[in-house]
Amino acid sequence: MPRAGLSHGAVVDAAERLADEVGLSNLTLTALAQDLGVRQPSLYKHVEGVAHLRRSLAVRAKAELAGVLASAATGVAGAEAVHALAAAYRDWGRAHPGRYAAAQRAPAPDDEEDAAASAAVVAVVVRVLASLGVPDADAVHATRALRAALHGFLVLETEGAFRLPDDVDVSFRRTVDCLVLGLRPHPAPS
């Protein structure tokens, strides 16, 4: 019989917290069981294994990130919306490093729930980029460029790569300014 109060949701809740503390790559069923005060075999009543657990984390993390980004971009448009989205992305990633890592996972081709969670994040970004004037035909490319730049900055920042005395927040704003300039539609050469 499962431990009282322990459910799939409770196991994933604990895994989110633990992943944020120790890093997604260090999240194991052994560590999770110890954290929950149960024996590892007890977890198999709630998750099929570490791969299933990480997939559950990914779906939740993407849903949470989509909500955070949508909230940040509500009521703003254009460059202001890109800056708001970028700041929310950075803040959420720094506050939740394990969940952030889980959200980077691409869904399996047959995983409709994970694909829907991924699509929700992309939909927010596409709406923000559309408010900047990015045409639908360029939405995927612009989304990839924005994600790559924000992810790269966040990883470098959280890994301690920015050791120079200049203000990192200023560097981040300038990075987003460059993205805004580069992502805006440009007139065709005549």
Note the pLDDT of residue 137: 93
Note the pLDDT of residue 2: 45
Domain residue limits at 72: 55-183
Residues 6 or more apart in contact with residue 31 via CB below 8 angstroms:
18, 22
The answer to the question of residue 173 being in a domain is: yes
CATH value at residue 64 = 1.10.357.10
Token pair for 131: 């408010």
The answer to the question of residue 87 being in a domain is: yes
Rounded to the nearest 5 degrees, what angle is found at the Cα of 153, between the Cα atoms of 148 and 154? 100
pLDDT in tens, 55-82: 999 999 999 999 999 999 999 999 999 9
Our count of domains for the chain comes to: 1
**Residue 5 pLDDT class (50, 70, 90 cuts):** confident
Q: In the predicted model, what is the mean pLDDT of the chain? A: 94
pLDDT in tens, 109-154: 999 999 999 999 999 999 999 999 999 999 999 999 999 999 999 9
The answer to the question of residue 100 being in a domain is: yes
- Identify which of 58, 36, 65 has the alpha carbon closest to the alpha carbon of residue 50: 58
pLDDT in tens, 148-183: 999 999 999 999 999 999 999 999 999 999 999 999
The answer to the question of residue 148 being in a domain is: yes
Asked if residue 81 lies in contact with residue 30, where contact means CB atoms within 8 angstroms, the answer is no
Global model pTM greater than 0.85: yes
